[in-house]
Amino acid sequence: MALESLFQFLDAGVSRFHSAAHAAALLDRAGFRALEETAAWEDLQEGQGYYLTRNGSALAAFYYTGKPQGFRIIASHGDSPTFQVKAAFPPAGGMIRLEVERYGGMIAPSWLDRPLTLAGRAMVAQGETLAPRLVYLDRDLLIIPSLCPHFDREASLGRKLDPQADLQPLLGDDQAPALRELVAGELGVEPQDILSLELTLTPRQKAVYLGAQKEFFAAPRIDDLECAWASLEGFLAADPAPGMVNLWVLLDNEEVGSSTRQGACGTLVEDVMDRILLAAGAAGQDRYRIYANSMALSADNGHAVHPNHPEKSDPLNSPKINGGVLLKMNASKRYTTDGIMEALLTRLAREHDIPLQVFTNRGDIAGGSTLGNLLQHRVSIPMADIGAAQLAMHACVETAGAKDALWLEQLCRTFYAAAVTCTGDGRYTLA
């Protein structure tokens, strides 16, 4: 498998709404049927695939297999650190800036002096209908200009950027149309028909290969769209194990804590699982029995050893780009992997010649968190955290390994197809 479909996935995900829409289009193409949360799920057909969206930015897809004996779940997230538009400033020096605030913890200097544009969602009123519309201004529109060293002699040595003063993008001169007019023209509606806008900055760079042998690739939003792509590809390619319901989830708002109805702290995964069980006629203790025979992966990237700063990695656990899939471990359980899930994934990886790397942080670096430990608050099933090693996480453009992406997809496919049955607490059989 080449990476063209990954590059398309990365390029299409210009906002979290676009990431979910692109995934939905891929599922449509694969024959999945869309469900609505407001409708009853009474006529699910065995062997058919279904999906639903929540808030237009989160998505869950599953194969319905009749009487389920367990679930196999992989969850990733579709949002990335960026800047969210608030309003427009009055003209300053004959120029108009957009007022933005940071969404998530980005590497702010990486956003300076590069072509940017806007993407997101508009709520549009047309007659008695109020409906969402995707927005993407597909042109080089904005830039955040840096302060030159003539005005700041410390600029080349690195300076602390003030988000309010230094990180506001330039939209145009004082004759530029208002932002709402720009969006209305793009959507073919009247400005007054746009009742709300949720727009973020997005870089214009496309995904590209790097390296002497194209062994690397660079793109915006590798964290976490690489994992979203790999898990979706694995989900679509795998035949569910007997009695298992395969569930693929794309969550939102991981970069700002996941505490939304479409995030890992929300009820999306739990709601979908329970509605599948109700549709299958589960009763009594079935829910608890089926949950106990289920397992999940939280797929989110981790840090590779930085070639210029190897001292930032654990000296004995130093994952390398193109060294294999990361199995993420943390004593404080910011990652969910325990000994049982480590053993199961190690066995599966060995059987299919998929290299694994253990990822841990240095003892004096806390590291980041992800959606797994939060999701486990809602869905109490065995879980592990996986991902791919990358550089410059949370930069405007990130770097990762071509081989790792393929191994990650292979592990996701293997997980979804594996006939693993829980026979007691911590005891499993692998057919």
Q: Tell whether 140 is covered by a domain.
A: yes
- For residue 90, CA distances in Å to 145, 182, 185, 199, 306 come to 18, 17, 22, 19, 42
Residues 190 and 225 in one domain: no
pLDDT at 92: 72
Last residue of a domain, one of 203, 237, 261: 203
Last residue of a domain, one of 203, 235, 255: 203
Residues 191 and 119 in one domain: yes
pLDDT at 386: 97
Residues 324 and 186 in one domain: no
DSSP annotation string for 303-331: EPPBTTBGGGS-SS----TTS-EEEE--T
282: left (phi over 0), alpha (psi -120 to 50) or beta: beta
Residues 175 and 155 in one domain: yes
pLDDT at 396: 97
Question: Which residues sit opposite 59 in a β-bridge?
Answer: 53, 250
Residues 257 and 196 in one domain: no
Q: Tell whether 144 is covered by a domain.
A: yes
Give the pairing type, strands 389-391 and 398-401: antiparallel
User: Which CATH number is 30's domain given?
Assistant: 3.40.630.10
Q: Tell whether 385 is covered by a domain.
A: yes
Can you give the C-alpha Rg of the chain in angstroms? 22
Residues 166 and 136 in one domain: yes
How many domains are there within the chain?
Answer: 2
pLDDT at 157: 65
Q: What is the pLDDT of residues 401-422, one digit of tens each?
A: 999 999 999 999 999 999 999 9
pLDDT at 155: 65
Residues 338 and 403 in one domain: yes
Last residue of a domain, one of 203, 232, 265: 203
pLDDT at 362: 84
Residues 235 and 374 in one domain: yes
Range of the domain at 342: 4-80+220-430
Residues 183 and 240 in one domain: no
Q: Quick one: tokens of 355? A: 């290299």
Q: What is the three-state SS of 364-411?
A: CCCCCCCCHHHHHHHCCCCEEEEECEEECCCCCCEEEEHHHHHHHHHH
Q: What is the pLDDT of residues 335-353, one digit of tens each?
A: 999 999 999 999 999 999 9
Q: Tell whether 208 is covered by a domain.
A: no
Q: Tell whether 209 is covered by a domain.
A: no
User: Which CATH number is 189's domain given?
Assistant: 2.30.250.10
Residues 89 and 73 in one domain: no
Contact of 338 with 270, CB cutoff 8 Å = no
pLDDT at 158: 67
Residues 230 and 338 in one domain: yes
What's this model's pTM, rounded to 2 decimal places?
0.95
Q: Tell whether 215 is covered by a domain.
A: no
pLDDT at 274: 95
Residues with pLDDT less than 70, the chain: 1, 153-158
Q: Tell whether 212 is covered by a domain.
A: no
Please give the Cα distance from 403 to 228 (Å, whole number).
16
Q: Tell whether 106 is covered by a domain.
A: yes
pLDDT at 368: 74
Residues 372 and 233 in one domain: yes
Q: What is the pLDDT of residues 228-246, one digit of tens each?
A: 999 999 999 999 999 999 9
